[in-house]
Each structure stands twice: as structure tokens, then as C-alpha cells.
A and B are shown apart, each in its own frame.
Chain A
Amino acid sequence: MIKQLNEAHQPHTEAPWQIEGKDVGHVSLVAQVVQVKPQATNTVYWLDDSTGRIEARRWRDSGVETEEDPIDNIESNSWVRVTGLMKTYNNKRHLSQVAIRPVTDPNEIWYHLADVIVVTLMSERGAPGQPSQSHTQAASNGLTASAYTAQSSGNSGNSEYAGLPRVQRAILEWIQAQVPCDEGFHIKVISRSVQATEDEFAQALDQLMENGHVFTTTNDTHVALAQ
């Protein structure tokens, strides 16, 4: 919720934002548009979701000359789904590189409220029940469920790795999702697609190699899945 964004903590500039101590990348909101302000290079939306307000900026198509952005069909007071990145400018927080679309079914509002509660609690407590039961996408992806991220790092049907810790599972699922490659994948590329700190990633990779899930290929920086 916007309150969580306004209270999020950024350890230092360029560091990922944190909500309740967990890193977040893209965020997703359902909110009401208080005001739409089309400007020269971007459109600014002022959003209100009952917990607070935040600005969201969407870049305008550079080919558009006129004042009114024709893509803008968003009306004031309407409910919208917004995804974007948290940024600060002049010490003010806002959502940047925003994708926005009208909410057509009001039930998306309650869905989002429930979604936020589930994700916030799961990032605190872990998935409900046994690790091997992945009921929902959120359960198997841990932090990367819809309320916090727009892109999920794995496929939800993969119960093969469900018993493993989150970061290890994310690494394995990412590799599985790629087109198979003989020389494996560069660990730097994998680490960019996995939500984890440097330490968490290094540790997870070590565990995976120790347990024989992955092995190094051409050199120390490339790994592949052990089939």
C-alpha cells in the first residue's frame, strides 16, 4: 500500500528500497487517481489508496506533439492498477517508469488488499503449511508475488524445488526457464534476475553446488543445472 512505500527505507542511494527489511524492486498498486497532470515530457498522476498518497510519473511518447497525451484515458477519481519503480527526486518519493491501466472490475480493489496482506505476512513468516505444498504463485516465489513485483522470477508449478530455500529455488527456476546452453550461464546474469543480497546469492549458489544441483562449466563464473 502507499503507506508502505512512504515508509520504505533506502539504506543508501542506488540501494534497493526495503519494506519491513525486505528488498523490493517493482511495486504494484491499486489506487484512485486524485489528479492527472500532463506535462511536456511525462504525465504525473497523484494517487490515493486510502493509506496515503504518492506521485507516479509515466514517460510520454516522444513523437506526440500536442499538449494532451492521446494515450491518456485515465479520469480523475477513477480506480487504476499501477506498477512502477520507487525513486526519489529532490528528496521527494515517487513511482517512476509507470505502467497504468483503469480498473474495470471493482473487485480488483479487494483482491489487492488481500494480496498485500498475504505478501506482507509471507515475507515475514514464510509460506503457510508444508514447504512442499505450493498452493499459490506467491507461496513458491516467496517475496516475488504480485504486490511487490511486476515480474516473477520463476514458474509456480515447480514443486520439484519447493522444499529448497527461496534463493536457491529462484536460481534453479531461473536456469530452468532459459533456453538450454552448453556452456551454462554467467553467475552475474543469474544474480541480477534473482532477488537476493550478494551474500544470500553466494551462499545459495554454494549450497546448490555442494548438493549437486548445479555445477561449474567452462570456468568458475558459469554454472549449469545438473539434469
Chain B
Amino acid sequence: MSEFATPRINSAALGQYEKHTIRVVGKVKEIPDSTHAVLEASDSGIVNINALPMQVESLRNVTYAEIIGEVVDPVTIRYQSHSDLGSNIDLKLVDEVIQQCMRFMGRIF
């Protein structure tokens, strides 16, 4: 695996990537406080995001996002950056694509 690899996974696979930096796609569900956000991942699993206040603020008006972060535990990641994916995403379809990518992890991805 490249030193720069940030595999795109869903919430179910978080447990296999502890301490790794990965990407999850999902809907920003809520912002409970200044250093936490909650993401509903592409497979509907809930992922807790630990972040700095400025980073949490940057997620405030975001609908769908791909969040890059380090896996802290099977339900939590520490935020590094995100891509705003707008509001026109079919999350179920995206999850199907991500699942296929995970199938070919090591060969193509």
C-alpha cells in the first residue's frame, strides 16, 4: 500500500483500519458540540468525527461530504479534511460503488 493511500470505505469496515487514515462518504447528520460532528455513512452507519472547532464549523452547512481522517476506534475518526459533495448524491448508489472498491482493495485500489 502506498504511504499516501487513504482507502475509501464505509462504516462497517472502520474496525479493520484502526490507526489508518481513510475516507468515508456520508451525510453530515448533526453537530452536537464545538469539537464533534456526526456523520451518517454511505452504509447508514453512524460515525463520530472528532475535530477542532474551526474544522467542525466548516462542516456546518455541508449536506454530503467525504471526510478524510484517522480511525480512532470502530465508530470514531479524527478529522483531517473533507470534500463538500453538494446535495445531489444518491448515497445508496455510492455505497454500492464503495463496496465494489473494497472488493478490489489491493489489486485496483
A contacts, CB < 8 Å to B: 1-4, 6, 32, 48, 50-53, 77, 79, 105-107, 110, 113-114, 116-117, 120
CA of A48 to CA of B8 in the docked complex: distance in angstroms?
12
Which of chain B's residues have a CB closer than 8 A to the CB of A107? 88-89
Which of chain B's residues have a CB closer than 8 A to the CB of A77? 81, 83
| 10 nearest A-B pairs in the assembled complex, by CB-CB distance | A52-B2, A106-B85, A53-B4, A110-B97, A50-B6, A51-B109, A50-B8, A113-B97, A110-B94, A114-B97
Give how many A-B residue pairs fall within 8 Å (CB-CB).
Answer: 59
Say whether B74 faces chain A, with CB atoms less than 8 Å apart.
no
Cβ contacts B3-15/A at 8 Å (1 or 0 each): 0111110000000
Which of chain B's residues have a CB closer than 8 A to the CB of A110? 93-94, 97
Which of chain A's residues have a CB closer than 8 A to the CB of B98? 113
Residue pair A51, B97 in contact (C-beta under 8 Å): no
Closest to A112 in B: B97
Cβ contacts B83-108/A at 8 Å (1 or 0 each): 10110110001100110110010011
A3-B108, A106-B89 given; A117·B100 CB < 8 A: yes
Closest to B23 in A: A50
Chain B residues bordering chain A, tally (CB within 8 A): 24
Which of chain B's residues have a CB closer than 8 A to the CB of A79? 83
CA of A53 to CA of B86 in the docked complex: distance in angstroms?
25
CA of A4 to CA of B108 in the docked complex: distance in angstroms?
6
> Chain A's nearest CB lies how many Å from the CB of B69?
13
A48-B4, A50-B23, A52-B5 given; A3·B83 CB < 8 A: no
CA of A79 to CA of B68 in the docked complex: distance in angstroms?
14
Closest to A6 in B: B2
Residue pair B83, A116 in contact (C-beta under 8 Å): no
Most chain-B Cβ atoms within 10 A of its Cβ — which of A48, A51, A53, A114?
A: A51
Which of chain B's residues have a CB closer than 8 A to the CB of A4? 108
CA of A224 to CA of B6 in the docked complex: distance in angstroms?
51
CA of A79 to CA of B82 in the docked complex: distance in angstroms?
12
Residue pair A1, B93 in contact (C-beta under 8 Å): no
Knowing that A53-B4, A116-B108, A117-B100 are A-B contacts, what are 6 other residue pairs whose CB atoms are under 8 Å apart, sorted by A's residue number?
A4-B108, A52-B4, A105-B86, A110-B93, A113-B8, A113-B97
CA of A117 to CA of B98 in the docked complex: distance in angstroms?
11
> Chain A's nearest CB lies how many Å from the CB of B106?
9
CA of A51 to CA of B64 in the docked complex: distance in angstroms?
22
Residue pair A113, B2 in contact (C-beta under 8 Å): no
Residue pair B83, A106 in contact (C-beta under 8 Å): yes
Q: Could you show 28 A-B contacts with beta carbons less than 8 Å apart?
A: A1-B108, A3-B5, A3-B108, A3-B109, A4-B108, A48-B4, A48-B6, A50-B8, A50-B109, A51-B2, A51-B7, A52-B2, A52-B4, A52-B5, A53-B2, A53-B4, A77-B83, A105-B88, A106-B64, A106-B83, A106-B89, A110-B94, A113-B8, A113-B97, A114-B100, A117-B100, A120-B104, A120-B108
CA of A181 to CA of B2 in the docked complex: distance in angstroms?
51
> Chain A's nearest CB lies how many Å from the CB of B55?
14
Which of chain A's residues have a CB closer than 8 A to the CB of B109? 1, 3, 50-51
